[in-house]
Structure 1
């Protein structure tokens, strides 16, 4: 039992070039393709499978499947024989239903002394799956067309938009109520009054500076301090005009003017650091209570506003987070604009709310500072992070890097399948959660999950290898996937035995890999 090295990981992609199956580029995205239709294997212990072709492992059983739905199984135990040929396989164990983070499984690769057919409790067929593109982060066509019309943010000659900068603004002050995490959301003690002054004002945007931050700024001369805040204001107004006003709003929509002041507001406050968990600072925040018409202070401000942390000096990151937070603001506004009662409030589920914000930020900026580390956290341990989480805070997963990486990866993959107008259709769907995804893609979640997990196999760095006679036990999150490379040598036939100890809803996908001898030759350089 062992984990894949980077070299063996690279062989998975290489294997998909052989035996009539290849990876090709289609509109900038990797795609599965094959030269002929694979056979339906009604006898998996007899028929061979095509290298690189993903197969659904479909099992019939004498066990009842209470609560199961098409696309996954909740059998407590299943087993199947591999075809009797020298071959390596990638087995993907997808957990679609069960405990959010703790589902117990064990997998044993048994040596077979003969070719007796497998028992009826685990009779399995291998069903060839359709071709899917891999994940991609390229801008969609409609977003790219809009972005290309705009000058580069790094171009010093580009217009930043006209705005007024105020060195002091004693007459223009505003108090925002801000959640700082000192109690439950429903407790007044969990909120602070954040007194601000107007820092700058443009055609579409007002920047408000927390008085507390202005008073506690590092010791600088008045000129240095003025230049520091002016540079920050210039950057934010420029980004807002180019990315939000000129690009995002025509594509996805504009936030309503909730407070009637005619402009969107950004509050610069380091109080966001009080909400940080771990070592990573909180760069930005959009508070859903601000977009609720029925909430009194201090629970919301009834204002179109987001909050940014002025202690963050990474302009590329701040740019991405500005777009990210505006997407949240638009989502809250769209879902709550007709709601006058908390009883009828319809929020988008957290995993989609965050995933869409990350997807749009990368689409419009062309950079991935805000998501890259989170994506790598997910790819390093994909079985540990649930994809579908309706409420991150209640689940104890708020700002979980791996969960963010999972939803970004999934939505990027969905976009690669549908491409045109996937993001606007999902964003403006009349449904939320999984139904919204199904409406936007025209496909069921189990089908989407299976295709996505096959694509993740090409990117993850955690694949467990098993040979006949070995076994492995693990725990896995719901709506996550675990990957195994199982090996069968010449003259052997192996039986795969999976115990689903939690009786969770699972789906199995099998992908035959390249000839082991060819891999050995590749490793040795021959």
Structure 2
């Protein structure tokens, strides 16, 4: 059966919009894609792709819907095997409904829904603020409810604005510049507080001094794991006037690291932490004091960064970390303080993108509902959306897969996974390739993460696909069937020469899909799941245009062609610090896109020199 007949039988997704029956002749843009829910029994799923579909794009998404755990998984392909046949892809009756993929809304909240609650009894700042103040700050690891883990930090008032006052730890007065203080006050008064007030309100004025308080201190990092970079936090207990010190400072306030420098990143961290205070204020005013689960609370605060619109510097590297290793990045993180999960960049990127996807496709009061319903976590999300988490998650992963091949899903207001985000070049989610050369791919899924796979099929042959996963993962398997092939290149980067200061690298490319393909961008970045780098130390590199042309003898490669780059150079210390992830973005003449990935691991250390002796035995 041809793909047009198949689409006519099952319906189609055209540019992400569900259509009953075949696409209208008036639909002119984009390829057709059908999505299937593959049945899973005892952790095992299998289906057959008939030979008449072997020249089409087939994507596979394997997800763990369990919220905790690591699960060994495997995908394998067998071409043209005899014997009992598994269900044919054409006969799978459970077609995924994706009507929520399209029609995104701007991320906005109707200010009328807030009323005057956020301004209730908030006095205007009057008189002169106090010049010195003591703050209880947790400086030791362990139970945050234990008073012994806190010290009293003496601080001096260093800056005052219309809505903000900034105190600096006495020990850090010499390192906090006037430019940092001016940035905090100007950004807060002119942009951050007014914009969030229009959308979700402002923070409750606990100490009734008319201003929001910021404390700058290097000591805020002391209680956290050694490899973690903590630039700021909000403590919900500070909004509780009934708690004694040191458990509460009884003030509307946040804590920022005194080592932060002026610039967009400082403004975005300020916006993020202030958003936590605003969101917690809404919970206390409208729903009562209840702690939101960390993964959702952080995603909501990152979403507020979008509302403020100052910078993506607190998000770009986190989004890229998720896209580079999607099977290691969890949307739901039940225990953020478990080793390896504290402040995980990939987890944060996954949770943010998932919530952003929901916000774009739901009504304007979505964010406000999340902090006023009196529920937390998945229950809160399902009540705010009216859709089961498993359905939301599947539709989100479908969007991720389609966007990662350059298909327009969601319209102009939708977050797109190909392109540039701040300092980072995004390459969509990383696909593993399963095909003739690699007929089996083993991987590990974390809870609420997904492995995205592209199936490279042998022309004119039927193919059996099997997925095996620990049943405790509660696996979810989705197949996407596209009408047109996308580029598929084998891509490698190797070290040609390793000097003490400079490493010489070469890239090798082989076209595998039988398509004439044009090179567009070559980019690389550190693997963020394994690096303790600070935000300022994270650098992403991109070559395109003339720079990319200087590496390759030609920018367009023919079907089956191979290409080796000219040598290019990187500082040797970049290779020794962490693995590097390389991406090569390509496009065919008819606009189909793809991204090829490879890893470059640090070279092994040189063996120690053996001592030599002139003595004979």
TM-score (norm 2): 0.64
1:210, CA displacement in angstroms?
Answer: 0.9
Q: Establish whether residue 414 from structure 1 lines up as the match of residue 362 from structure 2.
A: no
For the residues of structure 2 that align with 1:135 and 1:238, how far apart are their CA atoms? 36
1:52, CA displacement in angstroms?
Answer: 4.1
On the 8 A contact 2:134/2:153 being kept in 1, the answer is yes
Q: Establish whether residue 55 from structure 1 lines up as the match of residue 35 from structure 2.
A: yes
1:338, CA displacement in angstroms?
Answer: 8.6
On the 8 A contact 1:179/1:192 being kept in 2, the answer is yes
Deviation track 1:405-460 (CA, whole Å, cap 9, x = no partner) reads: 01111011112212533322323333221122222222221111011111222243
What secondary structure does 1:397 align onto?
coil
Equivalent in the alignment of 1:472: 441
The range that moved more, 125-134 or 491-500, is 125-134
Given the superposition, is the C-alpha separation of residues 452 and 134 from structure 1 closer, same or farther in structure 2, using an over 3 Å criterion? farther
* Counterpart among 427, 431, 454 of residue 375 in structure 2: 431
Q: Establish whether residue 255 from structure 1 lines up as the match of residue 255 from structure 2.
A: no
On the 8 A contact 1:104/1:502 being kept in 2, the answer is no
Equivalent in the alignment of 1:271: 219
For the residues of structure 2 that align with 1:481 and 1:327, how far apart are their CA atoms? 29
What secondary structure does 2:65 align onto?
strand
What secondary structure does 2:181 align onto?
helix
1:371, CA displacement in angstroms?
Answer: 0.8
* Counterpart among 95, 98, 107 of residue 75 in structure 2: 107
Given the superposition, is the C-alpha separation of residues 368 and 279 from structure 1 closer, same or farther in structure 2, using an over 3 Å criterion? farther
What secondary structure does 1:177 align onto?
strand
On the 8 A contact 2:48/2:464 being kept in 1, the answer is yes
1:471, CA displacement in angstroms?
Answer: 1.7
Q: After superposition, where does 1:19-168 map in structure 2 within 5 Å?
A: 31-33=15-17, 37=21, 52-59=32-39, 75-85=42-52, 86=54, 87-97=56-66, 100-114=68-82, 116-118=84-86, 124-133=92-101, 140-141=107-108
For the residues of structure 1 that align with 2:472 and 2:238, how far apart are their CA atoms? 42
Given the superposition, is the C-alpha separation of residues 515 and 361 from structure 1 closer, same or farther in structure 2, using an over 3 Å criterion? closer
For the residues of structure 2 that align with 1:366 and 1:297, how far apart are their CA atoms? 35
1:203, CA displacement in angstroms?
Answer: 3.1
Q: Establish whether residue 521 from structure 1 lines up as the match of residue 515 from structure 2.
A: yes
What secondary structure does 2:514 align onto?
helix
Q: Which runs of 5+ in 1 are unaligned?
A: 1-15, 24-30, 40-49, 60-72, 146-161, 219-224
1:118, CA displacement in angstroms?
Answer: 2.2
What secondary structure does 2:456 align onto?
strand
On the 8 A contact 1:463/1:483 being kept in 2, the answer is yes
For the residues of structure 1 that align with 2:73 and 2:188, how far apart are their CA atoms? 49
For the residues of structure 2 that align with 1:356 and 1:467, how far apart are their CA atoms? 40
Deviation track 1:17-65 (CA, whole Å, cap 9, x = no partner) reads: xxx9787xxxxxxx513666369xxxxxxxxxx9642423242xxxxxx
For the residues of structure 2 that align with 1:128 and 1:461, how far apart are their CA atoms? 20
On the 8 A contact 2:125/2:163 being kept in 1, the answer is no
Bigger relative CO (Cα 8 Å, ≥ 6 apart): 1
1:102, CA displacement in angstroms?
Answer: 0.8
1:273, CA displacement in angstroms?
Answer: 3.4
The range that moved more, 205-214 or 106-115, is 106-115
Give the superposed CA RMSD: 3.6
Equivalent in the alignment of 1:26: none
1:188, CA displacement in angstroms?
Answer: 2.6
On the 8 A contact 2:48/2:87 being kept in 1, the answer is no
For the residues of structure 1 that align with 2:303 and 2:144, how far apart are their CA atoms? 28
Given the superposition, is the C-alpha separation of residues 331 and 112 from structure 1 closer, same or farther in structure 2, using an over 3 Å criterion? same
What secondary structure does 1:256 align onto?
coil
For the residues of structure 2 that align with 1:446 and 1:256, how far apart are their CA atoms? 35
Q: Which runs of 5+ in 2 are unaligned?
A: 1-6, 24-29, 113-123, 405-416, 418-427, 488-512, 518-557, 559-587, 590-617
For the residues of structure 1 that align with 2:252 and 2:278, how far apart are their CA atoms? 9
Equivalent in the alignment of 1:444: 388
For the residues of structure 2 that align with 1:516 and 1:338, how far apart are their CA atoms? 51
Instruction: Looking at secondary structure, tell me which structure has more helix per residue.
Output: 1
Equivalent in the alignment of 1:210: 169
For the residues of structure 2 that align with 1:133 and 1:119, how far apart are their CA atoms? 27
Instruction: Looking at secondary structure, tell me which structure has more strand per residue.
Output: 2
TM-score (norm 1): 0.74
For the residues of structure 1 that align with 2:95 and 2:286, how far apart are their CA atoms? 46
Equivalent in the alignment of 1:5: none
Equivalent in the alignment of 1:239: 187
